[in-house]
Every structure is written in C-alpha cells, then in structure tokens.
A and B are shown apart, each in its own frame.
Chain A
Amino acid sequence: MHRRSGSEILLNIYLWVFLFYLFLPLIVMGAATFNSSRFPTVTPWLGTTLKWFGELAADDRMWDGLISSLGVGIAVVVISVPVGLGAALLLTGLKGKSRTFVYGVMVSPLLTPGVIIGISTLVFWDRLGVGPGLHLATLGQCSFIIAYVMLMVLARLQRFDATLEEAGLDLGASHAQVFRRVLLPYLKPSLIAAAVLAFFQSFENYNTTLFTRGLDTTLTVYIASKVRTGLTPAVNALALILISITILGAIGYEILRRREQARDLAAKRRAAETERRETQLA
C-alpha cells in the first residue's frame, strides 16, 4: 500500500543529515570538556582529563551566577503562574472585540524582542527610582513569561466542561469551593507544565536579563562573559552538565505531556462510549 519512492528516500537522508547537523556541535562541545588543552577544542586531542570539572567547581562566580539564576527562576514562577492563571480566566469572560483586543495586548510581549522588553523595563523602573538588578530582571522576564503561562492555561480551559462548575454551584458549593475542588484540579497539569516552562525560560534568558541585571550576574550572563573573556574548558564542563539536565528535563516533560494527552483521549472515548450505550438503551 505504501510505496517508497526515490524522493522519500532522499527526504529520509536529508532528515538524518539535519539531525546530525543539530547534534554534532553539541557533541563536539561536550567532548571538548575532556580534552586537557587550555583552549576548548577537540583537535588536537592533548590527553583525556576530568580536571575541568574541578576547576568549574572551584569558580565562585559560577556558584554566584547559579544561585542568582535559581532565585530569579523561582521568583518568576511564583509571580507568573498565578497571574497567568488569572489572565486566562479573565479572557474566558470576554467576548467579541474586547476579547480580541485584550488577547492581542496580552500576547504582544511574545512578539517583542527580548532586548526591547529589557530596555523598556530598565527605563520605566529607573524613572520610578528602582535601579537595575536581579529584581528588575525578574520583572522583565515576567512580562513575557506570564503570556506563555496564560496561553498554556487558556489552551486547557478551552476544553473545560463549564457545566461541572454549574453543577457544583447548584449543589450549594461556594465559588471558592468550586474553584478549589473543580477548576484547579482540572487545570493542575497545565499549571505544572507552565511552571516548568516558566522556570526554564527564566533560567536560560539572556536578552532581557542583559539590560536589567545591573551589576548582578546570572548563570547565562556568566557563560556569555566567560566565552568572550577567559575561556577555558571549564565552560564546556558547565555546558555539558546543563545539556544533560536539559535532556533529562525535555524527556521527562514530553513523557508527562504525552501521558496527559493519552489520558484525555481515553476519557473522551469513554464518554463517547457511555453516550452511545445510553442512546441505545433509550
């Protein structure tokens, strides 16, 4: 039934070349960690070593950067998840032109370059007497990360069966109870996913942070400054660790997302099945 044409084979080869292109630089970068050469490279190979991990661990500025990044990341999650949730719920209550307008304003930070978000945040808060620093980096990042959270919550809200809420209210539950017992549990997977995404976005942010950080340094800023001045394979060691964490994180995230999708699909099927049986009985 499915014939393999020449063009399909070509497309396959092309795909593997593309994947090779995506991964080779990362592999080279990781491999350079184990070369004892002072400059990070794989040619020539001057001997295998683990000393660069030790050098990385001894670098206080790296630890400072890491702690700053973790702090900013957590602060961004704490702010952006509740606000994004509120914004998504608000959108469900708007209709027509006003909804389009509010939606447009809310997603506009996603279509704005990160450097511009950083600059506008810096300039605005400076006028109010708030100087740059990690707190400003947090606010700058929030302005667009909230939009991601809002979109993720909204996507799940659109499949929500509002009659469940009505049922709760009709049975005498308070608004707070319905929110806590019906809506929040339903939104939980998307809130967790949004929190993970928000943290990652914050952790790897460079453009917005660059303009709002003042004299503080996050891990990403630390790496960039290291690459330009004072480069040793210790940076590769850090890159290798971050890539490993990212790979594990990405796989974990995907598995969760797919399990969620499968569960949704199964629930939908069950509902359809029940409905079919009921109509047959009637």
Chain B
Amino acid sequence: MKDLVKRYGLMLTSYMVVASLVWIVLLVILPYFMMVNYSFRPNLVAADIGGPLDHYTIDNYITLFQNQVHFHVFLNTIWGGALVTFICLCVCYPIAYHLAKVATPQRAAFLLLLLVIPFWINEILRTFAWFIILAYQGPLNAFLKFFHIIDKPIRYLSGNGAVMVGMVYAFILFMVFPIYNAMESLDKNQVEAARDLGAPTWRIHWRVVIPHAKPGIAVGCIMTFMLAVSSYAVPSILGSTNSRWFTEIIYQWFFEGQNWPQGSAYAFILLLLCIIFILVMMRVFKVGLTDIAK
C-alpha cells in the first residue's frame, strides 16, 4: 500500500481503494451474502419479518429433494449442461487446433475475425435463429421433405433435443477461443519432433497438444457448462413444458410463486453446482485458479 501512495499520491490511492471497495463489497460480496442469508429463511409476510417466526431453517433446501418434478429438472439440467459441454469440446478441438497450429497467421487472423462476428451477436438472436429453422413448417422440415428424407414434418420444438442444439450453437465459441489461446503458445517444433520420431497423430495430440492446451480446455469447459446450466433464454425459447430447465423454476419461484427465500435457495444450489464443476475441472486438468481467470 505504501508503494502505491509513493507511486500515485494519496488522492489517487484513496480513489483506487474506495472504488474497489464499493464494487467488491456493495456489488459483489454483500449481495451474495444476502442471497444466501435469504435462502435459509422462511417465506414470511412483511409483518412477520423479525418476529418469532423469522428463524433460520433448511426447509428451502429440503424442498428440492422432496419435489420430484423439481429434482428431476435439476438432474436434467446437470445432464444437459454436461452433454452440451462435451459436444462443444469435441466439435471445437479440431477447429482450435487448425486455427492455432495449422493455418498460416494471415489465414488464422481472417478466420478469427469470421468467428468473432457470431460471438458478438446476442444469445437471444442466436437462439431465435434456431427457433425459425426448427419450426414445424420451417426450413429444416421443408428441406428434408423436399429430398424425401422424411414423409411428414417432425415436431422438433418439444423435448430436450432442440434445447441442446440451441445451446451448443449459442455457447460453442466460448469453447473455441480459450482452447485456441492455450494452443497458440505451443511450439510447432514439438509437434514436428513427435511426428519425426514416428508418433501417430492421435498420440501426438494425446501426449503433446492436449497436455499443453489443458488450461484452455478447462476454461472452455467451465464457461460452456456454466452458461448452459444457467441459461434462461435458450430453454424458454426452444423448450417446451416437458423440457424445463432449472433456471425456469428459479424464475417461477421469484415472479410467479413470490417466494424469494425458496428461489434464493435454488439459486444458491445452482451456484454451488457451478463451483463444484469448476473445482472438478481444476482437479481433472490439474490447473490453478490463476490459469482459469485470465
């Protein structure tokens, strides 16, 4: 701290400290704390708050395990999120490798620009695009019918399939860029050396490229999983009543059930799920927090 005062003067240093504190305390830590605090309280009318009924309880957490429908949606969300993450990883790995190690620098720069464009486009709009394509009388059914692949149109917008397709499309670039960034620093000579020594392609990737790209793969998986399980837009646009998402239930607790403590408990469970996933990824890929938050 003394260094800072010496370097920037007292005024500027105080500004830095105050601005950072206001942000961290008022916008980050206290809101989290309040949400967790809420989640351990019963849902009371305003008059009862602070009264004898206002005590800590874990009832809101027990609800999830007692309510079969909610618990099923919760598991479905975890499974869906994991599946989306896995598909994105498989699809993106070759793309990232091509961009980082195969393409010439000029070509890679051009391709990256092409990839950046859909990345900047709103999640809602990207989901809406698939809503049009997958509609009952939409272009996909028309196309398949035209080539006699199907006889009558398929109803895509019911069930999990459309939600998965939409999520993969919406979040896939969050997987490409971290892996690309990590692979970029790999020395091409290592790949060449492995090849000259007779290693087959799969082995080069397994022993040379993947170990180097680990932090990027971890970050890509974390981002994709987090965005998928916490997405509200994609399931609400592409889903139907039999493919509900955990976020939709949280939303219902807040704005239809008017039960904020219950909603907060579910939200905290969702946050814990993300934290557990981050920890698992860090363990699996043996990377530290500083590698992730870059």
Let me know if A51 is at the binding interface, CB within 8 A.
no
Contact of A246 among B7, B120, B237, B289 (CB under 8 A): B120
Q: How far is the CA of A127 from the CA of B29 in the complex (A)?
A: 15
Q: Which of B66-74, B177-185, B208-216, B266-274 contacts A (4 or more CB under 8 A)?
A: B266-274
Contact of B250 among A119, A124, A204 (CB under 8 A): A119
Q: Once the chains bind, are B11 and A15 in contact (CB under 8 Å)?
A: no
Contact of A106 among B24, B119, B123 (CB under 8 A): B24
Q: Once the chains bind, are B28 and A210 in contact (CB under 8 Å)?
A: no
* Chain A neighbourhood of B201, CB < 8 A: 7
Q: A: which residues have CB within 8 A of B?
A: 7-8, 11-12, 14-15, 18-19, 21-23, 25-26, 28-29, 32, 39-44, 82-83, 86-87, 89-90, 92-93, 100, 102-117, 119-127, 139, 142-143, 146, 151, 162, 165, 174-176, 179, 200, 204, 206-207, 210-211, 220, 223-224, 227-228, 235-236, 239, 242-243, 246-247, 249-251, 254, 258
On whether A109 and B125 interact (CB within 8 A), knowing A86-B19, A224-B236, A224-B237, the answer reads: no
Q: Once the chains bind, are B35 and A223 in contact (CB under 8 Å)?
A: no
Q: Chain B residue with minimal CB distance to A175?
A: B9
On whether A105 and B24 interact (CB within 8 A), knowing A26-B129, A123-B35, A124-B30, the answer reads: yes
Contact of A43 among B102, B142, B270, B293 (CB under 8 A): B142
Q: Once the chains bind, are B133 and A25 in contact (CB under 8 Å)?
A: yes
Let me know if B115 is at the binding interface, CB within 8 A.
yes
The 10 closest A-B pairs by CB, nearest first: A175-B9, A113-B230, A93-B4, A86-B19, A25-B129, A120-B31, A43-B142, A124-B31, A143-B27, A120-B35
Contact of A242 among B28, B125, B135 (CB under 8 A): B125
Q: Chain B residue with minimal CB distance to A197?
A: B120
Q: How far does the Cβ of B5 sit from chain A's closest Cβ, in whole Å?
A: 9
Let me know if B23 is at the binding interface, CB within 8 A.
yes
* Chain A neighbourhood of B143, CB < 8 A: 43
Q: Once the chains bind, are A254 and B116 in contact (CB under 8 Å)?
A: yes
Let me know if B65 is at the binding interface, CB within 8 A.
no
Let me know if B199 is at the binding interface, CB within 8 A.
no
Q: How far is the CA of A21 from the CA of B168 in the complex (A)?
A: 11
Q: Once the chains bind, are B137 and A242 in contact (CB under 8 Å)?
A: no
Q: Chain A residue with minimal CB distance to B24?
A: A105
Let me know if B263 is at the binding interface, CB within 8 A.
yes
* Chain A neighbourhood of B149, CB < 8 A: none
Q: Once the chains bind, are A179 and B95 in contact (CB under 8 Å)?
A: no
Let me know if B156 is at the binding interface, CB within 8 A.
no
Q: How far does the Cβ of A45 sit from chain B's closest Cβ, in whole Å?
A: 10
Q: How far is the CA of A276 from the CA of B194 in the complex (A)?
A: 37
* Chain A neighbourhood of B117, CB < 8 A: 246-247, 250-251
Let me know if B38 is at the binding interface, CB within 8 A.
yes
Q: Once the chains bind, are A239 and B128 in contact (CB under 8 Å)?
A: yes
On whether A176 and B138 interact (CB within 8 A), knowing A90-B20, A249-B120, A251-B113, the answer reads: no
A-B contact pairs, 7 of them (CB 8 A): A12-B98, A29-B132, A93-B3, A112-B271, A123-B264, A176-B9, A176-B11
Q: Chain A residue with minimal CB distance to B223?
A: A111
Q: Chain B residue with minimal CB distance to A174?
A: B9
The DSSP consensus for interface residues of chain A is helix
Q: How far does the Cβ of B139 sit from chain A's closest Cβ, in whole Å?
A: 5
Q: Once the chains bind, are A112 and B267 in contact (CB under 8 Å)?
A: no
Q: Once the chains bind, are A123 and B260 in contact (CB under 8 Å)?
A: yes
Q: Once the chains bind, are A105 and B129 in contact (CB under 8 Å)?
A: no
The DSSP consensus for interface residues of chain B is helix
* Chain A neighbourhood of B289, CB < 8 A: 100, 104
What sequence of 0s and 1s flags, for each residue 221-253 of chain B, a beta carbon within 8 Å of any chain A beta carbon? Answer: 010001101111100110000000001001100
Q: Once the chains bind, are B95 and A18 in contact (CB under 8 Å)?
A: yes
Q: How far is the CA of A268 from the CA of B231 in the complex (A)?
A: 43
Q: Once the chains bind, are B27 and A139 in contact (CB under 8 Å)?
A: yes
* Chain B neighbourhood of A41, CB < 8 A: 132, 135, 137-139
Let me know if B75 is at the binding interface, CB within 8 A.
no
Q: Once the chains bind, are A235 and B128 in contact (CB under 8 Å)?
A: yes
Q: How far is the CA of A142 from the CA of B28 in the complex (A)?
A: 10
* Chain B neighbourhood of A220, CB < 8 A: 122, 124
Q: Chain A residue with minimal CB distance to B134?
A: A25
Q: Chain B residue with minimal CB distance to A243?
A: B121
| Interface hits, B1-39 → A, CB 8 Å | 1, 3-4, 7-9, 11-13, 15-20, 22-24, 27-32, 34-35, 38
Q: How far is the CA of A100 from the CA of B30 in the complex (A)?
A: 20
Q: Once the chains bind, are A15 and B271 in contact (CB under 8 Å)?
A: no
Let me know if B40 is at the binding interface, CB within 8 A.
no
On whether A250 and B247 interact (CB within 8 A), knowing A28-B129, A120-B35, A174-B9, the answer reads: no
* Chain B neighbourhood of A19, CB < 8 A: 111, 114-115
Q: Chain A residue with minimal CB distance to B172?
A: A22
Q: How far does the Cβ of B276 sit from chain A's closest Cβ, in whole Å?
A: 12
Q: Once the chains bind, are B237 and A28 in contact (CB under 8 Å)?
A: no
* Chain B neighbourhood of A254, CB < 8 A: 113, 116
Q: Once the chains bind, are B293 and A83 in contact (CB under 8 Å)?
A: no
Let me know if B161 is at the binding interface, CB within 8 A.
no
Q: How far does the Cβ of A18 sit from chain B's closest Cβ, in whole Å?
A: 6
Q: Once the chains bind, are A206 and B8 in contact (CB under 8 Å)?
A: no
Contact of A103 among B8, B254, B293 (CB under 8 A): B293
* Chain B neighbourhood of A249, CB < 8 A: 120
* Chain A neighbourhood of B231, CB < 8 A: 207
